[in-house]
Amino acid sequence: MKNKKTFYFYLLLSILLIYISSSSSILYYLIIFSSLLILWFFKKSNSYFLILINFLIFTILFCLALYQKKYNISINYSLLIYFLENIFFLRENLLEFVIEIPLGFKISYIFLSISIICLIKNHFKLALAFYCLILILVFIAPDTNYTSAKSNRTETQLTDSLLFPYIGKISKQTDVMIFLLEGVSESHFTSSVNNNFNKKYPNWKIENFFISMPHSSKSIYTLLTGKLQIHESRPKINDNDAKFSLPKHFQNWGYQTSFYTSQPLIIENLEQISETFFMERDDQISLSKKFPSFSSFSWGIDDAVLLDRITLDLNVNKPLFSILYFSNTHSPYFVSDRNSFLLGDKSDSFSRFKAALNYNFEIIEQIINLVKKERNRDTLFIIISDHGESFGERNFHHHNYSLYDSETKVPAIFIYNKDLKQRIFHSGAMKDFKLSLLSLFESNNSNSNFFTLGYKLKLLLKSWNSDAYLGIIEDDKKLIFHKENNRLFELDLMEFNEKELTDNKDKFKFMDQYTKLLNQFP
């Protein structure tokens, strides 16, 4: 560029945006390029329309930079494709993302835009003044970081005693109902569940239960098949997985199998999975037609609709194997008019989340009581979650990327009407859920059965759609590798003790172990 002052301005701008991201990325050079185009188009054509188009591109790229900052992840091509494919369902999440941008960054964007306009008008000193204001906001203002005080990790002490499970086999005439929560970590579950819940419903609890990837469709496929497919961004169905899936086992035993969800099934192969694996299915779209009185939002419909839907199956003569998959705790955390649990400000996302979760508990209790009353059968109810949800813990938000407990450690509760003792098991994993559940009906003493004393927890962890974070859980030790920052951490299962392993030998050893385990877990 002929104007040296303008060149130096954009050099400073590059440094600023790379600082905002905390990592070097081609995305930020695209931001610089788009802002340069604004200036170039104006100089060449005086076209305000072209300037407007480039400002739009600049704005989108600026938001992507903030996305990387907020979620501690690098934007890649597949993430952009996923967003474009599902933009209709993500529209409320997008609005919430914009609303939650810290004030400092919002003002920074305004000042940055003004700086570019000043350069167009050849007011270099004014542009530099606004740039200096941006520096003050980004480097000094406390609210320019995506942090949250709402860390809800509860430090409940692990019991010393491991109780052996109910020995007798469960009858294959027993109704099995899985309540699959959306985005509920073990800590959020424990802190929200009613104090009388364990007294009313004595249960078996898996104390440390983990999923491999904090993403819904991947966890659902693992639950149904025991397969991780850890390097796939979405499940890939094969005939063998379907033939030996969890619902097919129950169908072969004479069960009616069903998958009812208040979410839409048309994303990420879930519609194909439900059609291939289950006899009966309903989702947000079909349920809204059958029960039009329930209100909807971008990611689903009022979860209370699941109570009405399961009521239709109460007179089925066959035993039931049903998965009821909730939606209201998914961002933007829907609080329907029927939900009376909102205590805080409705504009606060965590208050909405807690209200939706408590509402789910109420619905679950209603379904449990209804099924036990109306069905003349033994019952096994299971409460589990597809993944957790971060609200600022370790500076992560929502889900998909963190491998810490806030997103990978979920509740796993089994309520069997013929065993009224409270039992606690040390650990388990979603990949072992299928085998362990089937073992209650047909004995299996495999070391992958988390209901046996010989169970050995071994699991791979990975951030969704990215290799930014990798992890290994083995027995009582967890390793998490921040690949982009080349940092390796060792923790216990409760995350009470944590240390960084700085020796490169430990990092090479981790990657070698991770690669070997990939061959063990399909």
pLDDT confidence of residue 199: 83
Rounded Cα distance, 268 and 82, in Å = 9
pTM, full prediction: 0.79
179-188 as b/e: b if 16+ CB within 10 A: bbbbbbbbbb
The sign of the torsion formed by the CA atoms of 19, 20, 25, 27 equals negative
pLDDT in tens, 218-258: 999 999 999 999 988 889 999 999 999 999 999 999 999 99
pLDDT confidence of residue 176: 98
Rounded Cα distance, 334 and 356, in Å = 6
pLDDT in tens, 329-383: 999 999 999 999 998 788 899 999 999 999 999 999 999 999 999 999 999 999 9
**Cα 258 to chain center, whole Å?**
23
Calculate the dihedral angle through the C-alpha atoms of 472, 406, 206, 191, rounding to the nearest 10 degrees.
160
Task: Answer for the pair 259, 295: CB distance below 8 angstroms, yes or no.
Answer: no
Domains of the chain: 4-143 (no CATH), 175-520 (3.40.720.10)
pLDDT confidence of residue 322: 98
pLDDT confidence of residue 268: 81
pLDDT confidence of residue 61: 67
Q: State which H helix or E strand residue 368 sits in.
A: helix 349-374
Token match 């109306």: residue?
374
pLDDT confidence of residue 350: 93
Positions of the chain with pLDDT under 70 = 1-58, 61-62, 65-66, 69-70, 73-168, 195
